Structure 1
C-alpha cells in the first residue's frame, strides 16, 4: 500500500493517524514512520486489539494518542493508561509521570440516527476525548456523514472529535456546527481525501486547509 505521509505532514496537521487493524485497507504495515515535525502528534488507531500489541506499537512508533475504534470497555481504557504509565516509570524511574509523557486515549463511538449518550458516563474518567464517527459496515472510512443534529444532546464537557465522511462539501456545515457551542475539539478527515487507501490527495487537502481558514 502506498503512503505519502511526509507530503501530508508538510501541510502541518495537528495529528496524523496510523491504523493497525488487519481488516482495514489502510492497515499500516511499514516498520517505521517518516520523521515528523514535533508539533504533529502521532495517533495509533486500533480495534479491539490486545493491550500488549498496542503498548508494543506505542514503544515502536512513539504514539502520543491511541484511538480505540472497537468495543473497548472503560476497564480496558483504564488498564491501557495504567500499563503505559508503568512502562514509562520502569524505563525512566526518575522522570515520573507527566502530561508530556502520558499517552492520550480517544474512544470512538459510532452514530447513525440516534445515540444513547448515557453510555459515555463510565468512560468519562478514563479517556481523554471522545470521537464520533458514522456507524457503517466498516470500522471507519465509510465515506458518509451521520446526522450531526444528534450531538445537540451531548451534555458532557469533555472535548470530542467529529469524524465520518467529512470532505470539502461538508466544511460549511462544520462551520455551522461550531455555532452550537459544543466542545468540538477537531475534525477528522480520511476517505474523502484519498486517491486510494493510504494515499492522500494533497491538492484536496490544501483546499481543505484554505477552506477552514476562510472567514475564520
Structure 2
C-alpha cells in the first residue's frame, strides 16, 4: 500500500488500542482550541497506548500534535510532557519559525496549507518552506469541518511538495465513501481523516477500520 494513513483527533486509549494491526502510519492529537482538544498530560497517556500498537509495517504509528501558532516555549512544555514525533502547524507559521522548531526542539514539522478561494499558486505557497518542513498537508479552510475542497488542486500541491522533497497529505471531508475516489484520481502521498470516522462526534472504531480498508484495497 503506497498511501499513508493518519487518523486525527483521538482522545481515548480504548479507540487507540482498537487500531492494533491496522496499516495506520500516524495518529494525531489536537492541542489547539477544538472540541477534540486534549491536554499534554492526557496526550502522554495516549502516546503510551500508541507505543504498544503494531500498525503499518508492524510498527507503532507516529504521534502528531496539532497546533495553531503556538509560542515556542509553550510548545516546548507540551513536548516535555508528551513526547510527540511530529508537530503539525495549522496557523500562520513562517518558514523561519518552522526551521526554529525543527532545530531547537528536535521534532519533525508538518505545515498545513488551508485551501480558500483566491489562494496564491501552490508552488508560491510551498516553495519558501524548502528545508523547513518534513511534510505538507492541504485541508479545507477551518480544519475539522468535514467539508471537501476542490480536489483538482491536489496535483499542483503534490508537484510543489515534490519540488521541495516532502510528501503531501490531503485532509478535509474525507470518509470511507469518498477516500477511494481521491486516492485513485490524485494519488496523494497520505490521507488524514478526523470527523469522517466519527459517530455523533466520537471516534468510531468500526468507521476507522472501514476507512483504512478502503484506502488499503487499492
TM-score w.r.t. length of structure 1: 0.79
Shift of 1:159: 1.1
Give runs of ≥4 in structure 1 deviating > 6 Å.
Answer: none
Map of 1:211 onto structure 2? 214
After superposition, the C-alpha distances for 1:105-154 in whole angstroms (9 at most, x for unaligned) are 0000111345322021111220111000001xx3x110011001012323
For residue 73 of structure 2, the aligned residue among 44, 52, 55 is 52
Q: Size of the alignment, in residue pairs? A: 189
Map of 1:173 onto structure 2? 181
Matches within 5 A, 1:31-50: 31=41, 32-34=44-46, 35-36=49-50, 37=53, 39-50=60-71
Cα-Cα RMSD: 2.1
Measure the CA separation in 1 of the matches of 2:11 and 2:111: 27
- Alpha carbons 2:11, 2:36 under 8 Å: kept: no
Q: Report SS of the residue matched to 2:178.
A: helix
Q: Report SS of the residue matched to 1:122.
A: helix
Measure the CA separation in 1 of the matches of 2:100 and 2:11: 34
Q: 1:114 to 1:160 in 2, by over 3 A?
A: farther
- Alpha carbons 1:78, 1:126 under 8 Å: kept: yes
TM-score w.r.t. length of structure 2: 0.78
The structure with the greater share of residues assigned to helix is 2
Q: 1:196 to 1:20 in 2, by over 3 A?
A: farther
- Unaligned residue ranges in structure 2 (runs of 5+): 1-9, 54-58
The structure that has the greater radius of gyration is 1
- Alpha carbons 2:170, 2:191 under 8 Å: kept: yes
Shift of 1:14: 0.9
Measure the CA separation in 2 of the matches of 1:123 and 1:150: 19
Shift of 1:162: 0.5
